[in-house]
Structure 1
Amino acid sequence: MAQEHTHGPHPEHGHEEHEEHGSFKSYTIGFVLSIVLTLIPLYLVVNETLAGGELIFVILIFAVLQFIVQLFFFMHIRSGEAPRYNVMALILGLVIAFTVVAASIWIMSFNATVQ
């Protein structure tokens, strides 16, 4: 006899769907925030509202905010079976990326002073 299997959430197996994970509302909010966080620096650059270091600083702030929005609304960093492991892996990746970038800048500045 064939056993009938239905597709969908199975609470007895621990596969319950969460509303905050991948809901249309969550994706829409993330999309709108991403657009706004992209358009504000674009406006500042196109209209030359800020100059030099101030502009770079504001763009970096908006980039960090964009990164946070991407993590929480699209990559679901706090959801899943083990969100603590996701955050730890993210922190490790950020430490490695920071180390590579800082070491590259250090080497390039050392080479500039030697030559």
Structure 2
Amino acid sequence: MGANNHHESFPWKHVVGFVLSLVLTFAALWVALSSGLTAKAIIGVIVIFAIIQASLQLFMFMHMTESDSGKIQTINMAYAFFIAIVVVAGSVWTMSFVL
């Protein structure tokens, strides 16, 4: 039980992150199904909710602020962002041939 004991008795940070993720998910669902907004507005709101939720999960669950090597983590995040963009763009490009 020395200075290296960083464990809390209950993971409040994870519970709060989980609840906020659920709230954002249900808010996006409500916007998509019941809001009455235009299609462009719905997509815009859902994209904003998605960015907020991704940021929330990075900081609450993936411990972005707890790393000793900030440079490596920045490179990993840039690479992950690049892969996500390639997957989404490739999926949209592939679906454009089908539709």
* TM-score (structure 2 length as normaliser): 0.74
| Alpha-carbon distance change, 46 to 108 in structure 1, aligned in 2, over 3 angstroms | closer
Equivalent pairs: percent with the same residue?
Answer: 34
Supply the RMSD in Å over aligned alpha carbons: 2.7
Runs of 4+ in structure 1 off by over 4 angstroms are: 106-109
Corresponding residue number in structure 1 for 2:31: 44
Deviations 1:48-86 (A, max 9, x none): 431211101111110111111111001111213324322
* Aligned equivalents of 2:22, 2:16: Cα separation in 1: 10
* TM-score (structure 1 length as normaliser): 0.65
The alignment covers a number of residue pairs equal to: 97
What is the one-letter code of the residue matched to 2:63?
H
Higher helix share: 2
Gaps of 5+ in 2: none
Corresponding residue number in structure 2 for 1:4: none
Gaps of 5+ in 1: 1-7
By relative contact order (CA 8 Å, sep 6+), the higher-ranking structure is 2
* Aligned equivalents of 2:37, 2:82: Cα separation in 1: 31
| Alpha-carbon distance change, 62 to 68 in structure 1, aligned in 2, over 3 angstroms | same
| Alpha-carbon distance change, 28 to 104 in structure 1, aligned in 2, over 3 angstroms | closer
